[in-house]
Chains A and B, each alone.
Chain A
Amino acid sequence: MKVLHTADWQLGKPYGRFTPELRAALTEARFDVIDTLGKAATEHSARHILVAGDIFDTEGPEDRTIVQAVSRMERHPCHWWLLPGNHDFARNGGLWDRVRAKAGDRITILTTPEPRELEDGAWLLPAPLTHRHNLDDPTEAFDTTQTPGARLRIGLAHGSIRDFGSRGETNNQIPPDRARRASLDYLALGDWHGVLKIDARTWYAGTPETDRFQNNNSGHALLVELSPGADPVVTPLRTGRFHWLIRERTVSSAADFDADCAALLSETDAPNTLLQLTLAGITDLTDRVAILAKIENDLAHRLRFLDLRDENLVGRPTENDLAALDVEGTLGIAAQKLNALSQSAGPEARIARRALERLLVEYNREDQA
Chain B
Amino acid sequence: MTLRISHITVENFRKFRAPVTIDGLTDGLNILIEPNETGKSTLLEALRAAFFVRYGTKNQLTRSYAPHGDSVGPEIQVDFTIDNAPWSLTKRFLKSPSVEVTSPEGRAQGEEAESRLHTLLGSVKDTSTKGDIASWGILGLLWIGQTEALSLTAPGSLVRDTVRSILEAEVGAVLGGPAWNRVHDRVGTQYDQFWTATGKEKGKLTEARKTAEDAQTEAETAKARLQALEENFTALEQARAGLKRASRDIADETDIQTRKDLEKELEIARAAGQILATRRAEKEAATSTVKALTDLQTRHQTALKTHAATEAALTKARDKRRTLATDLVAVREKTSQTKETLEQARLAQRQTRAALAEGQKQHDALRRHKAIAAARTRYAELSRLEQELQQATALSATLIPPEILSELEKHEKRVAEAQARVTVGATRLTLSGDTAAVTFDSQPATAGEHSITRDTTIRVGNTELRLRPPASTASAEQDLSEARRKRDQALEDLGLRNLTDARLRNDKARDATAECRTLQARIDAATPADDTIALKPGPQALKLFIAGLPAEDPQPPAETPDLPALTSAVEHADTTLSKADGTHQSAIEALRRLETEDAPFAAAEAGAQSDLSNATARISELEKHPDFASLNETLAQAGKRAAESAAALEEATRNATVHDQTTIKRKIDTIDARVRTARETCRKLETEIAKLEGTIESEGGKGLAGREAAAREAVEAARAALHRVTEDAETIKLLRNTLEDARRETSARFTGPVAERMKQTISRLMPGSDLSFSEDLALDTLIRGDTSEDCTTLSRGTQEQLAILTRIAFADMLREQGLPVSLILDDPLAYSDDGRLELLIDIIADAAKRMQVILLTCRERAFRHVTANHVSLT
Contact = CB atoms under 8 A, between A and B. Distances in A.
Contacts of B168: 329
Given A14-B710, A328-B180, A60 B704 contact: yes
B236 A351 contact: no
B36 interface: no
Interface string A62-76: 111100000000000
A332 B240 CA distance: 78
Contacts, number: 152
B738 interface: yes
A91 interface: yes
Contacts of B739: 330-331, 334
A58 B179 contact: no
A355 B709 contact: no
B713 A93 contact: no
Contact of B713 (A17, A91, A331, A352): A17
B713 A329 contact: no
B182 A366 contact: yes
A337 interface: yes
A331 B707 contact: no
Given A329-B175, A363-B179, A352 B734 contact: yes
B703 A366 contact: no
Interface in B166-185: 168, 173-177, 179-180, 182-183
B738 A92 contact: no
Nearest to A13: B709
Interface stretch (B51-59, B692-700, B763-771): B692-700
Interface residues on B, range: 35 or more
| Of B176, B226, B705, B746, most A-chain CB atoms within 10 Å | B705
Contacts of B174: 327-330, 332
A95 B710 CA distance: 18
A329 B172 CA distance: 8
A98 interface: yes
Contacts of A63: 701-703
Interface stretch (B122-130, B408-416, B724-732): B724-732
A18 B742 CA distance: 40
Contacts of B709: 12-14, 16, 57-58
B705 A61 contact: yes
Nearest to A325: B179
Interface string B712-752: 11111100100000010011101100110111011000000
Given A60-B226, A329-B180, A351 B727 contact: yes
A90 to B, nearest CB: 12
Contacts of B187: 358-359, 362
A330 B746 contact: yes
A60 B177 CA distance: 63
Contact of A16 (B236, B693, B716): B716
B713 A15 contact: yes
Given A58-B709, A331-B180, A65 B700 contact: no
B741 A337 contact: yes
A64 B706 CA distance: 11
B233 interface: yes
Interface of B is mostly: helix
A59 interface: yes
B127 to A, nearest CB: 29
B242 to A, nearest CB: 14
Given A331-B742, A355-B735, A359-B735, A57 B727 contact: no
Contacts of B746: 329-330, 333
B640 interface: no
B708 interface: yes
Given A329-B174, A329-B175, A354-B731, A359 B183 contact: yes
B703 A94 contact: no
Given A60-B700, A366-B183, A334 B738 contact: yes
Interface string A209-220: 000000000000
Nearest to B720: A17
B711 interface: yes
Contacts of B701: 62-63, 98
Contacts of A60: 226, 229, 700, 702-706, 708
Contact of B706 (A12, A18, A327, A363): A12
A59 B229 CA distance: 11
A338 interface: yes
B112 interface: no
B735 A92 contact: no
Given A62-B703, A333-B742, A334-B741, A366 B179 contact: yes
Given A16-B711, A60-B700, A93-B233, A334 B742 contact: yes
Nearest to A19: B717
B216 to A, nearest CB: 13
A62 B703 CA distance: 4
Nearest to A337: B738
Nearest to A60: B705
A354 B732 CA distance: 9
Contact of B734 (A95, A348, A362): A348
Contact of B237 (A92, A330, A351): A92
Contacts of B720: 17
B624 to A, nearest CB: 95
B332 interface: no
Interface in A306-333: 327-333
Nearest to B694: A93
Nearest to A336: B742
B717 A329 contact: no
B320 interface: no
B311 to A, nearest CB: 106
Nearest to B702: A62
Interface string A40-83: 00000000000000000111111111000000000000000000
Contacts of B237: 92
B683 interface: no
A48 to B, nearest CB: 28
B725 to A, nearest CB: 13
A362 B177 CA distance: 15
Contacts of B697: 93
Interface string A331-369: 111100110010000001001101100110011011000
B674 interface: no
A365 B186 CA distance: 11
Contacts of A13: 709
Interface string B216-233: 000000000010010001
Nearest to B699: A60
A352 B731 CA distance: 7
15 contacts: A16-B714, A58-B703, A60-B700, A60-B704, A60-B705, A91-B233, A92-B233, A92-B237, A95-B700, A331-B739, A338-B738, A351-B727, A355-B735, A358-B732, A358-B735
Interface of A: 12-18, 57-65, 91-95, 98, 327-334, 337-338, 341, 348, 351-352, 354-355, 358-359, 362-363, 365-366
Given A355-B738, A362-B187, A366-B179, 18 more contacts: A12-B703, A15-B713, A16-B715, A58-B705, A58-B708, A61-B703, A62-B703, A62-B706, A91-B233, A327-B174, A329-B177, A329-B746, A330-B176, A330-B743, A337-B741, A348-B734, A352-B734, A355-B734
Pick the 10 closest A-B CB pairs, nearest first.
A16-B713, A329-B174, A62-B703, A60-B705, A14-B710, A58-B705, A334-B742, A333-B742, A17-B717, A355-B735
Interface of B: 168, 173-177, 179-180, 182-183, 186-187, 226, 229, 233, 236-237, 240, 692-693, 696-697, 700-717, 720, 727, 730-732, 734-735, 738-739, 741-743, 745-746
